[in-house]
Chains A and B, each alone.
Chain A
């Protein structure tokens, strides 16, 4: 049984400017289940954004396919909504019009009133109501702009929502608030989400599963770490969960050390680079914890 979103043997190469080729990543394969929140973590240059662009249909891979809900992904589609890091709001439209822009594209048969009501509802879900929705993006703070962008994406009910470092340009406090709002709206919509981030705490708070990428070139998705912290999560409470620091240490260890050690190994032709599943759960008794938690050993040493 294939997962809802299946990435199969994805390879991306670019000319390196000296007549040769640069392999960003090779034979990357992984899946995302319906309704799942998957976060991909890795250093800059490992090809996270390239994977995102391929999933969005804005770029084509050198080889490999992406299959969503039984059909191959080709070109951009309303089924795959994107929230860009720089918000990508149209500056000449008001906040409301930026959202209706998306809704109109999704539901061309709706009346103007239906479109506006729908858009206003989703803006309200991210905390934008009243006069604010008639302002231009330039009159909004960065956090508010990203809220608009999130509302625009959710209002379209895409089958897959792609978030490209959505909070990268925001200050820590604003980031926290919007993460909470994202969790809330995600909880209501049962939306499948694929997100890129640099922020480990953000990844643990939001994700069901974190994909870890090794450094580029020749990057690959090395591990798939399950986040064994029950929902609903709350930023102040998850840190007290016994699994929190175990998972966090594993991630820090990977990004700090192992992402480098595992990097730069070209793979053989036809090899499938499926990530190794890692499950860290201190709450359930296991027969041989040392075996199941290799990363913890590394942390303690």
Chain B
């Protein structure tokens, strides 16, 4: 044990926890009685048909293998591969998210530069921010009239706030000295914004973007359960209606994995713009 590095020991412990957890889960699920063991009466009252129950991990793994070996099949509106469903969700999240970034970052920049604007917009932001994004859904459906676009709008509205607030906060907090360096070098306002304020505020802005993508991924599942049709959220709900709990558990895991990957991507970006003072 002494020769293993810290990371190796942690990884070993993780694997151990996984295996133990899966074994406990497997053992905790009662096995279905085989049909031969049933009495005549039980068979007549329908006890012989398979009961719905929480699936053991072995079934989930088998399901995952089956799904992931052919993730992009498309056999009609109610039977699409997991890859296609996740693809739809990611497409919606990214569209709404980047539309939000397109507005939140320049706008946050302007608010951050002016104390008056900061104070003037603050009450609106504070009221709009805590609204659950799904509360916008009926209004979006009515005004936009298209469920697909409404889902994107919900993502847009939920991811705009952390980006807006963090950008304004980061820009407002840029050290006076750095701005003075730009001033004594006669940089114009545009040049100052791009060569001094943006890099100085970038770590804070990226933090906002990372929070936003996390929220957007949380919200898309709920939004797709409402609007239906496609996407991972719809998939979960559809499998629940099919009483296919193995697929439900499998898709829950997939939501976690994709969320983690999205977060890791922004974590990587964040590390690139972070500087030490």
Which positions in A face B, CB cutoff 8 Å?
Answer: 56-58, 75-78, 80-82, 84, 86, 88, 90-92, 101-102, 105-106, 136, 138, 156
Report yes or no: B276 in contact with A78, Cβ–Cβ below 8 A: no
Which of B177, B181, B184, B185: most chain A Cβ within 10 A?
B184
- Residues of chain B within 8 A (CB-CB) of A90 are 178, 181, 196, 199-200
Cα of A156 to Cα of B177 in the assembled complex, Å:
19
Does B183 belong to the interface (CB within 8 Å)? yes
Does B195 belong to the interface (CB within 8 Å)? yes
Report yes or no: A138 in contact with B275, Cβ–Cβ below 8 A: yes
Report yes or no: A88 in contact with B177, Cβ–Cβ below 8 A: yes
Report yes or no: B184 in contact with A92, Cβ–Cβ below 8 A: no
B250-277 at interface with A (beta carbon < 8 Å): 273, 275-277
30 A–B pairs (Cβ distance < 8 Å), ordered by A: A56-B184, A57-B183, A57-B184, A58-B184, A76-B183, A77-B184, A78-B185, A82-B180, A82-B184, A84-B180, A84-B181, A86-B177, A88-B178, A88-B180, A88-B181, A90-B178, A90-B181, A90-B199, A90-B200, A91-B275, A91-B276, A91-B277, A92-B199, A92-B273, A101-B181, A101-B195, A106-B185, A136-B275, A136-B276, A138-B275
- Residues of chain B within 8 A (CB-CB) of A58 are 180, 183-184
Rounded to whole Å, the gap between the CB of B176 and the closest CB of chain A is: 9
- Residues of chain B within 8 A (CB-CB) of A75 are 183
Rounded to whole Å, the gap between the CB of B197 and the closest CB of chain A is: 11
Report yes or no: B186 in contact with A76, Cβ–Cβ below 8 A: yes
Does B120 belong to the interface (CB within 8 Å)? no
Cα of A45 to Cα of B82 in the assembled complex, Å:
70
Report yes or no: A105 in contact with B186, Cβ–Cβ below 8 A: yes
Does B187 belong to the interface (CB within 8 Å)? yes
B115-137 at interface with A (beta carbon < 8 Å): none
- Residues of chain B within 8 A (CB-CB) of A80 are 184
Rounded to whole Å, the gap between the CB of B202 and the closest CB of chain A is: 8
Cα of A229 to Cα of B275 in the assembled complex, Å:
45
- Residues of chain B within 8 A (CB-CB) of A82 are 180, 184
Closest to B274 in A: A92
* B187-208 contact mask (Cβ, 8 Å, vs A): 1 or 0: 1000000011001101000000
- Using A91-B275, A138-B275, A138-B276 as known contacts, say yes or no to A84 and B199 having CB atoms under 8 A apart: no
- Residues of chain A within 8 A (CB-CB) of B187 are 105
Report yes or no: A78 in contact with B186, Cβ–Cβ below 8 A: yes
- Residues of chain A within 8 A (CB-CB) of B185 are 78, 101-102, 105-106, 156
Closest to B177 in A: A88
- Residues of chain B within 8 A (CB-CB) of A88 are 177-178, 180-181
List 3 A-B pairs, minimum CB-CB distance, nearest first: A138-B276, A105-B185, A92-B275
Cα of A80 to Cα of B183 in the assembled complex, Å:
11
Closest to A77 in B: B186
Closest to B180 in A: A58
Report yes or no: B184 in contact with A76, Cβ–Cβ below 8 A: yes
Closest to A86 in B: B177
Cα of A232 to Cα of B180 in the assembled complex, Å:
34
Cα of A194 to Cα of B186 in the assembled complex, Å:
20
- Residues of chain B within 8 A (CB-CB) of A102 are 185
Rounded to whole Å, the gap between the CB of B148 and the closest CB of chain A is: 40
Cα of A58 to Cα of B185 in the assembled complex, Å:
12
Closest to B203 in A: A92
Cα of A271 to Cα of B275 in the assembled complex, Å:
51
Report yes or no: A81 in contact with B184, Cβ–Cβ below 8 A: yes
- Residues of chain B within 8 A (CB-CB) of A106 are 185
Closest to A79 in B: B186
- Using A101-B195, A136-B276 as known contacts, say yes or no to A92 and B200 having CB atoms under 8 A apart: yes
Closest to A149 in B: B181
* B83-99 contact mask (Cβ, 8 Å, vs A): 1 or 0: 00000000000000000
- Residues of chain A within 8 A (CB-CB) of B195 are 101
- Residues of chain A within 8 A (CB-CB) of B277 are 91, 138
Cα of A101 to Cα of B184 in the assembled complex, Å:
12
Cα of A106 to Cα of B187 in the assembled complex, Å:
10
B19-69 at interface with A (beta carbon < 8 Å): none
Rounded to whole Å, the gap between the CB of A40 and the closest CB of chain B is: 19
- Residues of chain A within 8 A (CB-CB) of B199 are 90, 92
B156-198 at interface with A (beta carbon < 8 Å): 177-178, 180-181, 183-187, 195-196
